[in-house]
């Protein structure tokens, strides 16, 4: 049986675009509940400037809380996103277990998101990744806008492969392909993933899809069929990048886990508990959220 790993990004990617600030204690409660569901990785927050992304202003506090053994009674890995050396320094101090960092294949998105070109970002991210690994931390690097950009449109696949090749050349195999704008389609996913595995079959690929055009789950299925084992998703389908033209929600964790359940995979994950967290988010934000299982309930027979 293939082992599938669920990387829950709702606490970071899910909340970063919201106008409403979620209280820190509520975040703590949700993270504890997410750990109890059995997901493998939880992306707690991002170490960004609190003025630019106020919803992430308590990220340091959250990590410091969960760095105390009495507050984390789970093997779930707690991850944090960093954009630069200052963020890495903060994350190290706060007790991040896994660092997520990356660059965008879109020059426009890269400049809006980080203030750097793709090449400039690469020159900083690769040494950061090496430093984090040398400190004994798990590291995942990403290619953002890997399947298209809401500013530039189609992204030449060579741009994606050039970034991936530089990661691989530097011994960084844990690579996430992020569909930041939600433009991916299953045939494109098949092509890019197969090409990367041909570059290095030992690459440890993750996929991060947004559901802008309703193809998120289909893209996850295609990635799964071609050997990807790591999937990033957000409870209730929350999220979106605040520095893209059209922010849209992530693939919904409940719906993704439900799909794998139908394949007799990851039945150890407590899907009902994830739905419960999604309902709490729906109540807090006061609007209907996009998850299918959230709306119709579980299929039980």
Listed in sequence order, the residues at least 6 apart from 256 whose beta carbon sits closer than 8 Å to its beta carbon are 6, 217, 220, 231, 233
100 is catalytic: no
> With contact defined as beta carbons under 8 Å apart, do 117 and 77 qualify?
no
> With contact defined as beta carbons under 8 Å apart, do 139 and 133 qualify?
yes
> Which tokens belong to 98?
């896994």
> Which tokens belong to 17?
């675009």
CB neighbours (10 Å) of residue 148?
20
Among 100, 220, 241, 252, the one annotated catalytic: 241
Listed in sequence order, the residues at least 6 apart from 105 whose beta carbon sits closer than 8 Å to its beta carbon are 118, 143, 144, 145, 146, 149, 155, 159, 160, 163
Residues catalogued as catalytic: 241
């Amino acid at each position: 049986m293939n082992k599938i790993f669920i990387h829950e990004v709702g606490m970071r990617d899910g909340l970063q675009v919201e106008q409403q600030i979620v209280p820190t204690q509520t975040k703590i409660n949700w993270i504890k509940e997410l750990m109890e569901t059995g997901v493998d990785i939880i992306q707690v927050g991002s170490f960004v400037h609190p003025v630019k992304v106020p919803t992430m202003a308590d990220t340091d506090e959250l990590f410091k809380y969960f760095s105390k053994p009495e507050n984390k009674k789970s093997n779930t890995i707690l991850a944090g996103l960093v954009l630069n050396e200052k963020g890495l320094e903060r994350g190290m101090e706060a007790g991040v277990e896994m660092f997520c960092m990356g660059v965008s294949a879109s020059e426009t998105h890269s400049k809006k998101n980080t203030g750097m070109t793709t090449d400039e970002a690469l020159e900083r991210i690769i040494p950061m990744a090496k430093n984090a690994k040398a400190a004994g931390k798990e590291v995942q690097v990403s290619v953002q806008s890997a399947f298209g950009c809401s500013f530039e449109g189609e992204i030449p696949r060579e741009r994606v492969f050039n970034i991936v090749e530089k990661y691989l050349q530097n011994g960084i195999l844990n690579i996430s392909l992020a569909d930041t704008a939600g433009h991916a389609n299953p045939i494109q996913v098949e092509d890019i993933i197969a090409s990367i595995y041909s570059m290095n079959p030992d690459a440890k690929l993750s996929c991060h899809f947004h559901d802008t055009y309703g193809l998120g789950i289909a893209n996850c299925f295609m990635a799964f069929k071609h050997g990807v084992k790591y999937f990033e998703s957000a409870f209730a389908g929350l999220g979106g990048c605040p520095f893209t033209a059209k922010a849209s929600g992530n693939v919904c964790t409940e719906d993704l886990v439900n799909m794998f359940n139908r394949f007799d995979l990851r039945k150890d994950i407590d899907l009902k508990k994830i739905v419960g967290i999604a309902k709490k988010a729906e109540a807090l934000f006061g609007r209907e959220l996009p998850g299918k299982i959230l709306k119709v309930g579980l299929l039980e027979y």
